[in-house]
Amino acid sequence: MMTYFLLDDNTVGQSDSILRKINLSENFKITPIQLTSWESDLIKIKEIFPKADGIILDWRLYEGNQPSGITYSAESLAQHIRFLVNDKQIKRDVPVVLCSANPDFTSSYERDGTGHDLFLKVYSKDDFSGDSENVVRELNALSEAFQQIQNSKLSDWFQTPADVNIDSRLKNELGDLIDKKIPHNIVKFILCEIILIPGILIEEDTLAARLGIDKSESSDWTVLRENILTPRFVYKGILSKGWSRYWADGLINWWKTTINEKHPQYYSADERVEMLKNKTKLSNLVAAKKLPFCLSNDFWAICEATRQPIDPSDGLRIQSNTLRAWQEERYLSLSSILDRKSKGIKLNPIEKDRLEYLKNLAKENGQK
């Protein structure tokens, strides 16, 4: 039974209500702990850590004016936990995540960046009370990841297929972190720099885009994915139970050996799908169409807002930290921006002029 502890200033009764749904999950439980004051809470923390598979802190601790009278923030608590781990007062490091009832919180927090490193991930309270299967999977995966880090060797973590090479720079950086022996930092790195950013691993939407396939229109997509693609190059390594990914190189290798010896990017979406249909004998695969204002259908990435395939040359780069060598850019499509459906995703400032130019072009072409 995987047990997470939720630390916040709600009464246990209130928290129990909120958690009742998620606690219906098999082999997973969140136990609420009510916090009262710094001194007593620190003692509680040291007590629960050995029993915990993970810790959830409620951001509301910080917002002040709480009837409970808590005067410290979730950040300070998290900071202190880090200290305790480094100081070896806590023997076993476990995932620490943040959650908040404020609906805007998650996106603004991610934008803000401060205190980022203290938490592996941020959730909204709605995630717990609503459709919570995803959350359970992720929390499970995070916890297992910590165990893997502490109990097995690097070579076992990623379950790298034989035909995939890992960039040496990644190996170096990972190696440095491993030397420092802080599981939190290692898992954070893997989650944020390998899983969540396309490069070595890609999501299903990107996979479909690279094959030129419109997922929603292709009734044979699931067949293709489950019978052919997944067995060949699905990612089975650390954190894979929480985040479903595929090996980017695995896709290329499979394509070159099974479908066509040339790299799929040589071909347009229509051509790729034709070849796929021929070789796999699956007839219900439909080629993806260009988004409005796009010129090319040599899809290789997705629009982060609409999740539709896009050729990087048509996309506008989103704001992100400096990319590491093994990471790829992420994009927004012009149509998602014009339709104001870009979901608060920010663009790379470098795209300011290009956005103006593309907008004027769209206006001129009478695309209203």
Binding residues for another protein (CB under 8 A): 14, 17-22, 24, 101, 103, 111, 125-126, 128-130, 319, 337-340, 342, 344, 346-347, 349, 352, 355, 359, 362-363, 368
Judged by phi (left if over 0) then psi (alpha if -120 to 50, else beta), residue 152 lies in beta
What is the closest distance, in whole angstroms, from the C-beta atom of residue 98 to another protein in the complex?
Answer: 15
Give 166 or 355: the residue with its C-beta nearer to another protein: 355
Give 123 or 158: the residue with its C-beta nearer to another protein: 123
Q: Tell me the C-alpha to C-alpha distance, in Å, between residue 75 and each of 17, 40, 78, 114, 123.
A: 25, 17, 5, 10, 15
CA distance linking residue 44 with residue 42, whole number of Å: 5
| DSSP-based three-state secondary structure for 350 | helix
Give 252 or 362: the residue with its C-beta nearer to another protein: 362
What is the closest distance, in whole angstroms, from the C-beta atom of residue 342 to another protein in the complex?
Answer: 7
Pair 158, 238: CB distance under 8 Å: yes
CA distance linking residue 146 with residue 39, whole number of Å: 28
What is the closest distance, in whole angstroms, from the C-beta atom of residue 213 to another protein in the complex?
Answer: 29
Give 122 or 337: the residue with its C-beta nearer to another protein: 337
Pair 321, 349: CB distance under 8 Å: no
Give 240 or 342: the residue with its C-beta nearer to another protein: 342
CA distance linking residue 70 with residue 64, whole number of Å: 8
Give 85 or 316: the residue with its C-beta nearer to another protein: 316
What is the closest distance, in whole angstroms, from the C-beta atom of residue 337 to another protein in the complex?
Answer: 7
Query: Between vectors from CA 315 to CA 312 and to CA 316, what angle results, nearest 5°?
Result: 125
What is the closest distance, in whole angstroms, from the C-beta atom of residue 236 to another protein in the complex?
Answer: 31
What is the closest distance, in whole angstroms, from the C-beta atom of residue 68 to another protein in the complex?
Answer: 13
What is the closest distance, in whole angstroms, from the C-beta atom of residue 119 to another protein in the complex?
Answer: 19
Q: Tell me the C-alpha to C-alpha distance, in Å, between residue 166 and each of 35, 143, 170, 172.
A: 44, 24, 7, 11
Give 14 or 219: the residue with its C-beta nearer to another protein: 14
202 φ, ψ (degrees, to nearest 5): -130, 155
**13, 14, 15, 16 alpha-carbon torsion, rounded to 10°:** 50
Among 53, 1, 4, 50, residue whose Cα is nearest residue 30: 4
103-111 own/partner pairs: CB under 8 Å, 24+ apart: 105/59, 107/344, 109/59, 111/346
What is the closest distance, in whole angstroms, from the C-beta atom of residue 42 to another protein in the complex?
Answer: 26
Give 301 or 337: the residue with its C-beta nearer to another protein: 337
